[in-house]
Homo-oligomer: A and B are copies of this chain.
Amino acid sequence: MAEITGTTRLFAILADPIHHVRTPQAVNAYAKARGYDGVLVPMHVNAEGLSEVVSALRQLENLGGVIVTVPHKTAIAALCDDLSPNARRIGAVNAVRREADGRLVGEMLDGAGFVRGLKVNGIDPAGMRAYLAGAGGAANAIAFALAEAGVSALTIANRTRAKAEDLKARLAEAYPALAVAIGTPDPSGHHLVVNGTSLGLKDGDALPFDAERLSADQIVAEIIMQPAETAILAAAKARGCRTHPGRPMLAEQVALMCDFLGIA
């Protein structure tokens, strides 16, 4: 950490709970390495308080922007003044830039960070048949990023089918050539299998899909960062699958977030 002074530009991460976030360490190290006079601090705010906090953040003239995580990624989208086309399609935001006039512009970088993480790990989704468990905020971001990265087909499996159907419809609109299907808990027949749910964050969570149907030729990827090895990754490894943990998604996103927020 560089020293914080009266000229230091302020950035915050909004989350509930907050104790597990690792973005401050990563962004502050990134800023320090570049000699950028800015600091990212944790702000623990719950769903009821979010709107009031966001209104107030507009008033802070030295605020550069905020990073947003669980459970605020969808709610924050409605509180921004403008959204990137990507954030608008996804309906969720994880980075908000504060313009000089106080306007808040939202972007969603989860998906791009996830795909960059895969590529750094030598996994290029282009041409792959992908399976995605979940249709929430993070899963939406990953679905659009996988489409953008050129998967040949995408299967969405979600407990609430209507949310998967809604995601499918929005994908079809943005990527009309992509084959999108609604799936079951069975991930077989896909090259790349992704957990886009929060199942695995807590001990005793159900598995996000049926691990017994995995085969050794499949790649299983995770978005959960902690634990580093979730139950589904352990099960996939036991079945001989190549696995890809959640951590690289954050590492790759830090550069994307800093770029979007002007930390350079």
Contacts and interface: CB of A to CB of B under 8 A. Distances in A.
A169 interface: no
Contacts of A7: 18-19, 42
A67 to B, nearest CB: 12
A204 interface: no
B3 A28 contact: yes
Given A53-B56, A56-B55, A57-B56, A42 B3 contact: no
Interface in A56-86: 56-57, 59-63
Interface stretch (A43-51, A108-116, A228-236): A43-51
Interface residues of A, number: 39
A5 interface: yes
B1 A42 contact: no
B18 A6 contact: yes
A169 B28 CA distance: 51
B18 A4 contact: no
Most chain B beta-carbon neighbours within 10 Å: one of A19, A40, A44, A60: A60
Nearest to A18: B6
Contact of A55 (B18, B28, B52): B52
A21 interface: yes
Contact of A53 (B6, B16, B60): B60
